[in-house]
Amino acid sequence: MSGLGSPRGPEFHSPDWASAPAPGVTAGPAHAAPRGRRLPAAALAALAVIGLSAGAGGAAGYAAGRDDDGGGTEPATAAPPPVGGVPSDLVGAAARVLPGVVSVQVRTASGGGSGSGFVFDDRGHIVTNNHVVAAGGRGGNITVVGSDGRRLNAEVVGTDPSNDIAVLRVDDAAALDRLALADPSATRVGEPVLAVGSPLGLSGTVTAGIVSALDRPVRLGGSSRQTAVQTDASINPGNSGGPLVNARGEVIGVNTAIATLEGGGSIGIGFAVPIERARQVADSLIARG
């Protein structure tokens, strides 16, 4: 798609990236091709993991994030019947989660960027990615847009670049619905999940997949190595900071990065900061802020 710009934010690499195989050498499991098909060496050399915030170059995506239609979604009180073959628990989970997910828009004199976030508590705190708010630098203006189209000014409470987590605060906490956080010990490989956010400025977007792996080592900006939840739910630029939720509508991670080939979009390998670590970082930033 033209006019949407390229993914922005810090570059992320898997821990094996620095030792990527030379042409002719078989790649390790982290870069293996699907069974029965081998990726060319040039493609393997281009595999990287990148941040997902939509940057200043994404003019069309940025404009699309202006949610002025006022269409809100009420939390579900009971799981609706299956629709089009989609499990009813995922339909109910989406209905419960959407009111607590926001589009994060950063404006500066030179442009800005956008990403996603979710309501962390009842005091107006919102969790997102550090690389989303870093687009604003000093003097940037940050606005969050709820599922009902309401715009609220936000301030940065604190950031943790090593974990790619940031906490925002809005004054009107009553306007937002807090999301439930999952028990991290209950997350299982293979369970269904939803990635929720504003890819390319398209707010309220929900995509489905599964937990592909737990404790996957990735490199978050610079040389910091952290473990992440790996998923095949489609996440794209602008999903940064949005929640990865289970079928009960509980947050299991904060969408942070995707693997990509030759600078392209999602190839079905995405990563999220595990919710337990995100919660600990957020609590610490709030306590200091």
Catalytic residue among 14, 116, 131, 212: 131
Burial grade of 34 (CB within 10 A; 0-12, 13-18, 19 or more): exposed
Asked whether 157 and 165 are in contact (CB, 8 A), the reply is: no
283 is catalytic: no
- Helices (DSSP H) in the chain: which residue ranges? 41-45, 59-64, 88-97, 130-133, 275-288
245: β partners: 194, 251
164 is catalytic: yes
240 is catalytic: yes
Which residues, including other chains, have CB under 8 Å from residue 44's CB and lie 6 or more apart?
20, 21, 27, 31
Catalytic residue among 67, 164, 177, 232: 164
216: β partners: 228
Calculate ∠ Cα 172-253-288, nearest 5°. 50
Asked whether 138 and 199 are in contact (CB, 8 A), the reply is: no
User: Which residue shows structure tokens 């821990």?
Assistant: 15
Beta-carbon neighbour count of residue 83 at 10 Å? 10
Q: Rounded distance, CA 94 to CA 285, Å?
A: 28
170: nearest Cα among 122, 114, 113: 122
Dig out the tokens for 217 from the structure. 């080592």
Catalytic residue among 114, 234, 240, 266: 240
* Catalytic machinery residues: 131, 164, 240
